Amino acid sequence: MKNIIKIATYRSPCGDLLLGAIDKWLCLCDWKESGHHKRMIGRLLKHFDVEIQEGGNYVIDMAQGQLDEYFGNRRKVFTVPLLPVGTEFQKKVWDGLATIPFGETLSYQKMAQRLGMDNSVRALANANGANALSIFIPCHRVIGSDGKLTGYAGGIDTKRYLLNLEKGSRPLF
């Protein structure tokens, strides 16, 4: 019998997110409008022997509750159990992303230096873009060396919204 990945849509103030959970772990939180989630679902299907089934479970309920608190300025740290699926290099980058404090940003170059990957900025950026757990693993906190907002699966306006939300500014969207 195959395992099941339960999926449900979460409607955020800046776009719909597709949440996915396998057993007791959140394995997907990705922006629906960008189509990025289709690639992430493909990776999950390839990695696990699973079927996709619409509906929730207690992990999705927990994720939705914590996202409500986050968007309501009542949560800065997430406690949902995560199951990131990727290469060891990608997981190292994602672990590094998780250390960027709420409300702060870091350039790709500084992130590469912090992780001891000075010559791997492009590979780090690609790993950042392969993050299937948006917001929970805060890839939106990584910006260009010049301070400009660069690529984000939810779009630049969404990235700006999230950064403004975390900095305590009233997001304009």
Catalytic residues: 139
Burial of residue 61, with CB atoms counted within 10 A of its CB: 0-12 exposed, 13-18 middle, 19 or more buried:
middle
Q: How many CA atoms lie within 13 A of 129 on its CB side?
A: 15
- How far is residue 89's CA from residue 105's CA, in Å, rounded to a whole number? 21
Residues near 164 by beta carbon (within 8 Å), at least 6 away in sequence: 170, 171, 172
Q: What are the two backbone dihedrals, phi and then psi, of residue 78, each rounded to the nearest 5 degrees? A: -100, 145
Two structure tokens written together for 123 = 């590979």
b/e map 121-152, b = 16+ CB within 10 Å:
beebbebbebbbbbbbbbbbbbbeeeeebeeb
